[in-house]
Structure 1
Amino acid sequence: MNRSILLLCCLLVTTSLVFAQTEDVLRPQGKPGGYKSLGKRSSVIGIEGGINMGFLSQSITPVNPDFPIAKSPEHVLNSGFGIAPSIGLFTDIPLTGTIGIQARFGYQGRTVSNTKSDAIAEASITQNEGLINGSLFTEATVESYYKLVYSSVSVSLLGRFDITKQLFVSFGPVVEWRVSNAERSDRVTVLSPDEVNFTVNYLGESVREKTITRTDTIQQSILPQASYTEASSYAASRVALEFGIGYRYQISKGIYVAPNVRYQYFLTKLTTGFSSLDGSRLFTQGSTQIDFDKASLNHLAIILQLGFEI
């Protein structure tokens, strides 16, 4: 399905480029009532750099609809946001005075994170501190946190359409390849009450600690799991459609800078779905299976291009 959509979009872009080029030949002075042709531009090569903002979303659904998933530490995984650097090379090849093809090769950092400070989980009272509510366990307010980091390279082939001599828009496909492990750092911390601790860490060892942490390269639930847990790997490559807008500033003869804003909608999901048990309130609420849907990670980039006419 994703490949069909991508092929259709590429066909539309190619058709529009050919149509526009033919139209300029038939009407060299421009459309009646519109602006005149700007004249064929020179080809351009250049460098670019900036930041990309990542937006992650993932549905988390409990099998038991009455389970309070919104208060679970696992709910931190339903979204994420992060900012990372981006650098690259580009070339712009004109087809007419107002239309061209822009090809890019880029290297990007990718990062997203999220914090949930109002989650509820059961934690043990420390030794010699007695009991609360006649139980060895009490519901504690905890903070759950994750951060996902990886690097990628990408290739883009886009149609460039000039609105004015300076203002232009672009549209086309992007293919991204992950070139590093996707590492996710997890942390869960007891915020209150003060006398409460966790009794097990991510290695399954008995502990009495306020905070448990881990770093791993698979997508999984954020709480320690004694059994019935699945893991999901991160996509090695992804395909996106990019929509962009930019503005050229001529700084000297044959040299310009062009700030760009680009949105990349990825047709390929970042992860596959998986299931786990949520036992964050095992003794007071019971446990339930929770299903993690495929995670989407899209990007908004703010880029500055430096172009040289050749």
Structure 2
Amino acid sequence: MKMMIVKDVEKTRFLSQKDLLTRFNRLSGCQIRDGVYQLVSCMKDGSYLRYNDLGNIEEEILSSSLHRVFTGGECGHQPGLDKYVVALTFDPRTVNEHLYLSENNTKVTRRREKQQLPDNNERFDKCNQVLSRQPLIGRRFFTVDVIGQEVHVGVACKAMQRKGASDAVCLGHNKFSWSLCLSDNSCVARHNNKTVLILSESVRRLGVLVDQDAGSVCFYMLSPQRKVLYVFDADFPEDQELYAAFRIQEPNSEVLLGQESLQMCLQLRFEIDSSEPNRDLAKQAAIMNTEPLIVQQISTRTE
């Protein structure tokens, strides 16, 4: 791990400040098990940067990278990826007529029968797809439970087209979307019609980490163990909101959006705030984040 970081850092002498910061920030989406403290120690020490002409931006790089390792959003006091968890619901305005929503719009089921829904500019009229109602802003982590085959989970820009069944509409077939298709013994990562086959045991519980600043979409298998399945090195359009996106091909297949992690997180945060009202939240995060993250790095880029 250390040698990989050294080699990666040595390539940075010809990069701009923006590119250099981005390269370091991409480490936020990986999962590091035992090496996280060595990594932070090296970055604090700066010894692995000494052969590079970084000028006066070294301090900014280190502080930015360390900040991104330890701070979070809504659940910032939680360890690991749970600090970025968000509860999503499906958007009824976008759902295709073969997809049926239930359980307060947290569950979607593919049916052969077609339901009658009012037409609008947001709805997918040919592809069996649906978007989340809430946008994914900054760094967000959401979980899904999947039943059935040919279930595509991913992220899409708002600009992705909705009408017809062309590549411009289908999740993962265009430059505005990134997806992972789940099957029994493999997964297929797809972006802009380029695919990567990933051999894996059956994935029924999936986590997705979206990081707008780092430009990455990371897919995790959450059960029976947590591990990285695939990481997209994504060039997100700056003027586009991102949404969780789903495509379900096989009848009776289902997707259930995770809600429990956020509820537990908010309950824990309430208990902490109630028991120690004068404690600084930043200190809470620093104390609670002392356990190692369970992470490993996959660095693959799809153009």
* TM-score band, normalised by shorter chain: under 0.3
* Larger RCO, structures 1/2 (Cα 8 Å, 6+ apart): 2
The two structures have a TM-score, normalised by structure 1, of 0.22
Q: Computing the radius of gyration over CA atoms, which structure comes out larger, 1 or 2?
A: 1
The two structures have a TM-score, normalised by structure 2, of 0.22
Instruction: Write 1 or 2 for the structure with the bigger share of strand.
Output: 1
Instruction: Write 1 or 2 for the structure with the bigger share of helix.
Output: 2
